[in-house]
Structure 1
Amino acid sequence: MEDIEDLTAALGGAVSRGEVFAVFQPQVALDTGDVVAVEGLCRWRHPELGLIAPDLFIPLAERTGAIHELGAFMVDECLEAVDFWHAGGQCVEVSVNVSPVQLADASFAELLAARLGDRALPPNSFTVEITESLPVTDLPMIVPRLVALQSLGLGVALDDFGTGHASFDQLDRLPVTELKIDRSLIQGDQADGDEVLVGIMAVAHARGLRVVAEGIETAAHLALARSLGCDRAQGFLLGLPMVRSDVDRLIAA
């Protein structure tokens, strides 16, 4: 296995060499069972090592600045996909993870505005996903940029919600339209999970937020998401991350 320095060097230019690609994981509406959205996920296939885990290469990209190239690539891939689906009469939404490093750079909002200006997508058909672990010191700079993105018709999702001590505090500070409940709560990995889940749903419903349950891998997980009143669900039981051509076939069926 190459060391971190070698991987870091290889990551530079990976997009231009065609090593980076997008996969999409379906989100299902719990009231209808229909696929109504997908989450775009970045993947890197190293020419010698094969697939590199995102939890390895994304932090490398954030530290080196390569995250901006990866982020621009994912925005283009996701917008192209949702544009194609809507043109074909399939009203499927798309979301993409956005790093705090991207949000801290004004060029990201400018990139999105420019890309959206080239398309006529319905409002909220594109959502940016942010993590609840955003540095508090960055919030005064990040919040206005999120508000600006919302003014363009984008949704803002707070990902992995419910596991951090600052979850509800962050919710008060951030202009979000959607909560994604962390898989550890849905899968019962935390002792106080039920209490946290009840609290999350009460806050979400009071604020009119859409709620997505992540980590749905069994029928019991799905039943829990329904009993809680979640709007959507995402996980291996409902669909693995897949290339766009497979999504095309899935939503056309």
Structure 2
Amino acid sequence: MILVTEQQFVDCLSFNDENQYIGKYKNLTLSSVYQPIFDSMHTIIGFEALVRIHDEDSGAIRPDQFFHNESINFDDKINVERISRALHIRNFSRSQYSHLKLFLNVLPSAGEYFALENISSSLLNQRLKAIGLDNSQLVMEVVELDASNEDNLKLAMHRLSEFGFNVAIDDFGVNASNRTRAEQLQPDFIKFDRSLLLSYMSGDRSPLVSGIQLAKRLGAKVVVEGIETKQQLSAMRTLGVDHLQGYFLAMPEPLASVFDN
């Protein structure tokens, strides 16, 4: 069963000892960490929210391994993604950075639900208003997995754009995060997979450069992910990319709350 009511989500949420919202779903505990995204002047423009998943039986689970695991049923993946989004938004709103942008990963299969929802009255829209965030602060990152119906995904993302949300293509250059999807979704941001950065640094510059040219043609901001060395940072600054993200700049970590429980 897919969670749909506000009460169902509330029942999954609680606070931990660090004054952070966490989620409980079946035998899983979900928590939030955030990695800053910088502009070319090294100013933080927003954060990508990342879920940490802990199974009480088997320990930590990498999110990509959870969401790519075909043995985990569809409803569980959608519920974990939705609960994670609820955590991320709440924890972000309680931090000193709540005026910046929040980048949220969206499974294509979950994103398609936005095509079926009345966004103006959706739980997401209602919750944002309740905690003082504006739709324009949220960047919905469509991850690189296939959609069951690309036309529905396109409709869903265009509807989100109409209501003021930003749309991003995540991990461009890998799997379904390709030129066709970018042209269909007309995103506000294109986030380039680290593999294109590594290819560029090794001398194969065409994939990254052509991707940046595509982004400019579509009017999308460029985010290069996976920067882990000073040399990579220098090269991307010389290339003139809009935004930068990676371990060399900042590690993912929780955002301290400025509120008491």
TM range (shorter): 0.7 to 0.9
SS in 1 for 2:60: strand
SS in 1 for 2:248: coil
C-alpha distance in 2 between matches for 1:161 and 1:150: 20
1:171 to 175, 182, 205: 182
C-alpha distance in 2 between matches for 1:56 and 1:162: 19
CA contact (8 A) 2:104 2:141 kept: yes
Alignment partner of 1:58 is 2:67:
yes
- Which one has a larger percent helix, Structure 1 or Structure 2? 1
C-alpha distance in 2 between matches for 1:122 and 1:78: 15
* % same residue: 24
Alignment partner of 1:202 is 2:207:
no
Structure 1 residues 83-120: Cα deviation after superposition (integer angstroms, max 9, x where no partner): 334xx575321111111221233359534233334344
Match of 1:34 in 2: 43
CA contact (8 A) 1:23 1:242 kept: yes
Question: After superposition, where does 1:7-86 map in structure 2 within 5 Å?
Answer: 14-15=24-25, 19-30=29-40, 32-60=41-69, 63-85=73-95
2:146 to 127, 131, 134: 134
What runs of 5+ residues in structure 1 fail to find an aligned partner?
Answer: 1-12
C-alpha distance in 2 between matches for 1:89 and 1:23: 13
Structure 1 residues 27-72: Cα deviation after superposition (integer angstroms, max 9, x where no partner): 1112x21222111111111224321122222234863311222122
Match of 2:8 in 1: none
Structure 1 residues 3-33: Cα deviation after superposition (integer angstroms, max 9, x where no partner): xxxxxxxxxx943667111111111112x21
Report the AA paired with residue 112 of structure 1: L
Question: Cα RMSD (Å) of the superposition?
Answer: 2.9
TM-aligned CA distance change 1:69 to 1:77, over 3 Å: same
Match of 2:13 in 1: none
SS in 2 for 1:104: helix
1:124 to 110, 132, 136: 136
C-alpha distance in 1 between matches for 2:135 and 2:109: 25
Match of 2:240 in 1: 229
1:99 to 84, 100, 107: 107
Length-normalised TM-score, structure 2: 0.77
C-alpha distance in 2 between matches for 1:56 and 1:108: 31
Structure 1 residues 185-213: Cα deviation after superposition (integer angstroms, max 9, x where no partner): 11228978401111122222233211100
C-alpha distance in 2 between matches for 1:201 and 1:45: 37
SS in 1 for 2:45: strand
Length-normalised TM-score, structure 1: 0.79
Alignment partner of 1:113 is 2:125:
yes
For structure 1, which segment, 68-77 or 169-178, has the greater mean C-alpha deviation from structure 2 after superposition?
68-77
C-alpha distance in 2 between matches for 1:72 and 1:89: 22
What runs of 5+ residues in structure 2 fail to find an aligned partner?
Answer: 1-22
Aligned length: 231
Report the AA paired with residue 33 of structure 1: H
C-alpha distance in 2 between matches for 1:89 and 1:214: 21
TM-aligned CA distance change 1:49 to 1:93, over 3 Å: same
SS in 2 for 1:68: helix
For structure 1, which segment, 61-70 or 92-101, has the greater mean C-alpha deviation from structure 2 after superposition?
61-70
C-alpha distance in 1 between matches for 2:208 and 2:117: 36
C-alpha distance in 2 between matches for 1:231 and 1:190: 18
SS in 2 for 1:118: helix
TM-aligned CA distance change 1:166 to 1:120, over 3 Å: closer
CA contact (8 A) 2:183 2:218 kept: no
Where in structure 1 do 4 or more consecutive aligned residues deviate above 4 Å? 189-192
